Structure 1
């Protein structure tokens, strides 16, 4: 419970694009139907993708989870149901520096700093749209953070129609991360930024990170922008991954 007593929603500034530019919002504006038992999936085609481009929202949801527990008791032991779906296959994990054979701790240490834990929540799977959709279905995920760059391409094995139908009923929210047309940005306090920097520092040193950060600014935060999309629209975008009804 790395962050359980060190972050609050005051550490996050949520801004939503409006007609007059970005407007400050609160967590409840963006997640009006949040529940502490939500099952959140972060799709990370390379090990570092979600850590570099979506840590702010991971920590925001994690903080909401611990806010709920703190309101009930001062004594608790639990983790949010957050799952990292990391690209890889044949005992290798995808990274920006190419596929690597990594020990389990090397795969998950950085994710653990964001309270994506235990190790059963680090799932290695081929980084194809249809494969990741299948994992969302199998793990009964209802909130998805999906890289905007991951699109269906030459689908190799289409999913049955029932997967599409289940997902249309189960998904509560879908956000694309690191898009060109962002409508949400999240700014972090120094305390929250520290956790992100610690997570980045725990990535295997053999991964060459391409980060543009100002001096003194935690690397990767400049990329924490998102686009909210209706779950039905998201599944329409992924339509070629499913067999027809």
Structure 2
């Protein structure tokens, strides 16, 4: 494929096959951005998302791979540049959340997987972003309000996301003079398969009541925040935004 001469802003969204990532891809496409919908293993939901975006008049393509592999992360950027001419927005929504388990009971292989996917995956995507985003661009990563809530059972997950928060202001400063912003969104309890998996109705209802708004977040709530950071929010940089309805 040859690079497009279309001046439309171009976004790469990882984790786009479901949950928050899917909602973000849909929202950015509705905002007029061309979207590269990245998925880890299941191509069908990503291809369906691309079909929906293109049917609505947007531009999109799907691309797969494990983004904790730096070579795969680089290949996603190559794909975006070859198809659309470059990248303006990167939203790294891919991640995993294991079932809540006391640290003493975690299998070490599971701890390593959480760190690899959530932390190393973010670093791999961030490295390509700081090298290759165009002027006026935005890198948006994801943490979690679990860090502020300090729920028992989430130690490896919180550790993996704490690292994401730590690098955000550093990257913003490393990009001095480039006109590229770096921010992190920390959703609270959000009604996605990742969050709901393994929780009974009583637990879900209890979590929904904790926020002053007395409901779980919806993927569209988070996509709205990302849309702001990906477009008009040029004076928000190096920040952590908790999108959690006031739960923490």
Using the size of structure 2 for normalisation, the TM-score is 0.31
Q: Relative contact order (C-alpha < 8 Å, sep 6+): which is higher?
A: 1
Using the size of structure 1 for normalisation, the TM-score is 0.31
Q: Larger helix proportion, structure 1 or 2?
A: 2
